[in-house]
Each structure stands twice: as structure tokens, then as C-alpha cells.
Amino acid sequence: MITLAHMLCLSAILFSIGIYGVLARKSLIAILMSVELMFNAANINLVAFNRFLYPDSLWGQGLVLLVITVAAAEAVVGLALVIAIYRNTKNLNADDLHLLHD
Amino acid sequence: MTLPLGIFYALSALMIGFSLVVVTSRNLFRGAMCLTASMGFVAAFFALLGGDFLAASQLLIYVGGVMVLILFVVMFVQTPDLFRARQTSVRWIPALLLAGGVGALFIRAFCHIESPTELPVLQPTSTALGHLLLGDMAVPFEVISLVLLAALVGALVFGLERES
């Protein structure tokens, strides 16, 4: 039988994969994709708590709907920024972006 | 091992495998395709946990909307020399240690959580979720539409070609 601990451990693994991607990848698009992984780990947690601890309520699932919407808005604005940066610098390497530095 | 647990482990292994490809692949396009598959498996977990409406919205919004957008941007910016270039920065070992540490800490903390063994039978959730969204959650529901409008305007402003 699947328990709450199974789901929490799964989402912890997914979250740490996302952390590694955000910290280690160079490309801005890859960093955005890793952030999406972390969003999904948090969503799995919310639905799991809803199912196992408060099965009579649906607040966890409603919150996940809001998180999905915010993540979609974040992806849209983030990708528009990526395209604007690419158009100006022809470079998406996060290590090389120091326009304000010098 | 019972059948649900077997399905859980199979889905988890596939999802973690695809997610690992997302953060390690040199080809961004392959990474984006694997992220699409990974989002699909997250929808499967939502369905496993009784969120039928959520699984459908995850498929529609993430797999159908956000991932198509990411794939479009990848095709827009990826040049052939990027396929062979190294994709991880020089700090990948501390990043790996930090991510592994955080993951191990979470798993260590979560292993002892007790969960109830008697769970109610799964029910369709769409009707109840609709009542919740337009009842108790009406204020966040309306605010989220403003957020979407702001995101739309912001994306247009950033994406427009400057006339010079």
C-alpha cells in the first residue's frame, strides 16, 4: 500500500534533482526547466497531504490549481525575458551575463 | 509487493529517470522532451492520489501549453555548436553535494511519518473543486486572473521587437 512517506520521499528526490539543475546548469532555459521540476515536486506534496491527512477537504488540490497557473505565468514571462536577452546579447550562458557589472 | 505499490515504483523510476535526463542532457531539446514526459508522470501521480481534475489540468496546461512554449524557445535559440558544448558550470560538484544533502535530509525526515491506513474510496472531484474555487477560494481565484493578465502584458512588452 502506498503511504504518505512514499510520496514525500519521491517529491524530495524530484526537488533535489531540481535544485541540482538550478545550481549546476549554464543555460537559462535549462534553469527554467529545473524550476518547473521543483514546482511539480511541491505540487505532489500538496496533493499527497490532501489525500492522506485531510481526505474530506479539497483545499490542497485547489491550491495546486493556483500553483499550476502561477507556474504557467512564470514560464511565460521568463521565456519572454530569455528571448529578449538572446536578442540583445546572442548568449544565454548564465555565467556570462554580467551586463550591470561593468 | 502489492500491485499499487508496484505501479508506484515503476512510475517513480520512470519519472526520476526522465528528470535526471532533464538536468544532465547536453541537448536542450532532448531535455525539454524528457521534461514533458516527466510532467506526464506527475499527472499520473495526481490521478493515483485521487485528483482526476488536477491530472487533466496538468496534462492540458503543462504538457500542452508550457512545454510547447519551452520547446518553441529552445528551437528559437539553440545553435548546432550548443549541442556539443558542456552544459554544466564549474560549480557542479558543490551543487551536487548540496542537492544530495538536501534530498537526504528530506528523506531522513519523511521516513518516520505515520500515515493513516484507512482511506476513503476515491470520488470524482470536479464538482466539489468547482464549488470550492468559486466559494471559499473565490478571492485567490479572482486574483490569479489578474496575475495572468499581468503576465500576458509583461510577455508582450518584453517580447516586442523594438523599432529603431
* Min Cα–Cα distance to chain A from B59, Å: 11
Q: Is the dihedral of CA A32, A34, A37, A38 positive or negative?
A: negative
Q: What is the pLDDT along chain B (164 residues), one digit of tens a residue?
A: 688 889 999 999 999 999 999 999 888 889 999 999 999 999 999 999 988 999 999 999 988 889 999 999 988 887 776 666 777 777 888 899 999 999 999 999 988 888 777 778 888 888 999 999 999 999 999 999 999 999 999 988 887 877 65
Is the CB of residue B89 less than 8 Å from the CB of residue A26?
A: yes
**The three-state (H, E, C) secondary structure of B110-144, written as one string:** HCCCCCCCCCCCCCCCHHHHHHHHHCCCHHHHHHH
> Can you give the CATH number for the domain in which A8 is found?
1.10.287.3510
pLDDT score of A70: 93
pLDDT score of A18: 95
Q: Is the dihedral of CA A67, A72, A73, A75 positive or negative?
A: positive
Which residues on neighbouring strands pair with residue A93, listed in sequence order? A27
Identify all chain A residues contacting B58, using CB atoms and an 8 Å cutoff.
43, 68
How many domains does chain A fold into?
Answer: 1
Is the CB of residue A31 less than 8 Å from the CB of residue A93?
A: no
d(CA B115, CA A17): 25
Q: Is residue A102 part of a domain?
A: no
Segments of chain A with pLDDT less than 50 = none
Model pTM greater than 0.95? Answer: no
pLDDT score of A55: 85
pLDDT score of B39: 94
* Min Cα–Cα distance to chain A from B122, Å: 9
Identify all chain A residues contacting B129, using CB atoms and an 8 Å cutoff.
58, 61-62, 65
Q: Is residue A41 part of a domain?
A: yes
What are the b/e assignments for B26-44, b being 16+ CB within 10 Å? ebbeebbbbbbbbbbbbbb
Is the CB of residue B11 less than 8 Å from the CB of residue B5?
A: no
Q: Is residue A101 part of a domain?
A: no
d(CA B115, CA B134): 31
Q: Is residue A14 part of a domain?
A: yes
Q: Is residue A43 part of a domain?
A: yes
* CA-wise closest residue to B99 among B13, B21, B20, B3: B20
Contact B88 A25 (CB under 8 A): yes
d(CA B93, CA B98): 9
* Min Cα–Cα distance to chain B from A99, Å: 17
pLDDT score of A92: 79
Q: Is residue A17 part of a domain?
A: yes
Identify all chain A residues contacting B119, using CB atoms and an 8 Å cutoff.
51-52, 55
Alpha carbon distances (Å) from B54 to B57, B74, B96: 5, 27, 32
pLDDT score of B114: 81
pLDDT score of B119: 79
Range of the domain at A63: 4-96
Contact A37 B110 (CB under 8 A): no
